[in-house]
Structure 1
Amino acid sequence: MLPPVKKDRVITQLPQCFSPNAALHTKDGFHPQVKAMCQFQRTATVSFNIAKVIVVGDVAVGKTCLISRFCRGAFDKNYKATIGVDFEMEHFEVLGVPFSLQLWDTAGQERFKCIASTYYRGAQAIIVVFDLSSVNSLAHARQWLEDAMKENDPSSVLLFLVGTKKDLSSPDQLSQIEQEAIRLSEEIKAEYWAVSAKSGDGVREFFFRVASLTFEANVLSELERSGSRHVGDIIRITDNTDGHRRRKRTPQCC
């Protein structure tokens, strides 16, 4: 039996982008085919779908705090650096259809890259995180993306560039680094967001956007491959999860 979806995880409309000039999609709503399929699905057998999302970036940019703020609604400034990879499962209901994000929180330390990189493969979305108060972390974002893309098909992965610690930046500093971030996001075809895990500013909206776009991409991809098959075949039941949130910590790298 599938777990109940929290009322605040129900998505009925495509969430707006953060910055129209640095967005993956500027359309107002879901693709008509996706909406039609989901309307049919409401009267068909309940089904389930999952998207793998990997979160990469320098150590201490706030990857774990970002995920924890969304999944638990909590912020702890004393988080210890991630060792290897941590894992969260978050459930949604998109257009009436159950959907989940696997959030893979990867280590930012160089010595753990040999572990973290083994989990990059098969991602539907890549979130590259940098610190809005650190120009160096933004400069390193391109390399993190390149490393992650070595294990994935560039034509089938959604990319997000996320600046954290928005609350720590002065207006002038924020404006300056955001110009660079938007320029980079346009170059690498990523969607740019600025958030604060401490205050929660933009975090919920961002993850709803990730869930909505990955859901739509998954359905359209299956539609393209399956032709005229029924929605019950396209948005299929996956039995590799027990429906509960789980965390996984890998052993220390060699």
Structure 2
Amino acid sequence: MDSGKLHISVPVSRNRVISKLPKWYTPESCLQFKEDFHGKVKGACQNRHTRSGGLNISKVVVVGDLYVGKTCLINRFCKDVFDRDYKATIGVDFEIERFEIAGVPHTLQIWDTAGQEKFKCIASAYYRGAQVIVTVFDLADIKTLEHTRQWLQDALKENENTSPNIFLVGTKRDLLSPAECERTENDAIRIASEMQAEYWSVSAKTGQNVQEFFFRMAALAFEESMLRELENSSLSTARIGEANVIRIDENAEAPQSKRTAEPGLGCC
């Protein structure tokens, strides 16, 4: 504690530490070919006190048709489990994943939204404020790929004044032969290009490319968040890394929220 401020530090597991910018899936499916974090971000991370307990959060919304494997994808990364007999998501669910990226704490708040039409109005309310939109389809069902454009459009409607990072993810890679996968991926990469999205192909069953995808997503979200913070810091005296810090200041009044609270979020 210093100057009346209590910093709350949450340990990060060793398998959630990212020191270098993870690479893309394939050059054809990538929008950014950088080998490392932006120079300004690297400099800021090296110069600040990384043990201050800052909690910087990026909101991720995962959208797509029913049964394309959204929940299985999230559970494989967050819990390292695979259950083929899961129940369809009702409304929304979410997971919290904490990382240490370039020595700085960063958190992903991952919202798993329902693919059923009857829950679409409920789920869409949670799209707001997304820094990352992940649009998921089933590699073994080409119709779900065609529907990704509409899912993305719905998510972007709730984020008209921002520019979220966009990913297109094909699941159930293990069900296709290499030749079948290549044919479908050619179509997927074309659609990803139209979406200005980065494309990834994964298997929640085998775990293929799952960790690599989430690490890439987390790193790019972190970089974007840090660049915004650096931009804002030039207009204020706030120290880099203190955005969204959980702390108690006995002398300060609680700031007014600039955004209407999302339904059902409470303290999150």
Q: What TM-score does the superposition give when structure 2 sets the normalisation length?
A: 0.86
Alignment-mate amino acid for residue 16 of structure 2:
R
Indicate the larger mover: 194-203 or 224-233. 224-233
The aligned counterpart of 1:117 is 124
Deviation of residue 177 (structure 1)?
0.7
Specify whether residues 215 and 231 from structure 1 end up closer, same or farther in structure 2 by C-alpha distance, changes over 3 A only: farther
The structure number with the bigger radius of gyration is: 2
Match of 1:130 in 2: 137
In the TM superposition, what whole-angstrom CA distance separates every residue of 1:143-177 from its partner, at most 9, and x where no partner exists? 00000000013752000000000000112211111
What pairs with 1:12-91 in structure 2 (closer than 5 Å)? 12-42=19-49, 45-91=52-98
What is the match of residue 197 of structure 1? 204
Change (3 A) 1:195 1:231: farther
Query: Contact 2:202/2:209 (CA < 8 Å) preserved in 1?
Result: yes
Where does structure 2 lack aligned partners over 5 or more consecutive residues?
1-7, 248-263
- In structure 1, distance between residues paired with 2:107 and 2:59: 9
Alignment identity in percent? 54
- Structure 1: 5+ residue runs without aligned partners? 241-249
Q: 1:53 touches 1:101 (CA, 8 Å); kept in 2?
A: yes
After TM superposition, the score normalised by the length of structure 1 is 0.90
- Residue by residue over 1:183-213, the C-alpha shift from the partner in whole angstroms, topping out at 9 and shown as x without a partner, is 0111110000000000000000100001100
How many Å apart are 1:232 and its aligned residue? 3.0
SS in 1 for 2:9: coil
Partner of 1:160: 167
Q: 2:246 aligns with which of 239, 243, 250?
A: 239
Task: Map Cα deviations across residues 96-137 of structure 1 (whole Å, 9 max, x no partner).
Answer: 111000000000000000100000000000000000101000
In 2, Cα distance between the equivalents of 1:230 and 1:173?
A: 55
C-alpha separation in 1, matches of 2:173 and 2:32: 23
SS of alignment partner, residue 151 of structure 2: helix
Alpha-carbon shift at residue 235 of structure 1 (Å): 4.0
SS at 2:204 equivalent? coil
4+ long deviations beyond 6 Å: none
User: Cα distance, 1:227 vs. partner?
Assistant: 1.2
How far is the alpha carbon of 1:42 from its aligned partner? 3.4
Aligned-residue offset at 1:229? 5.2
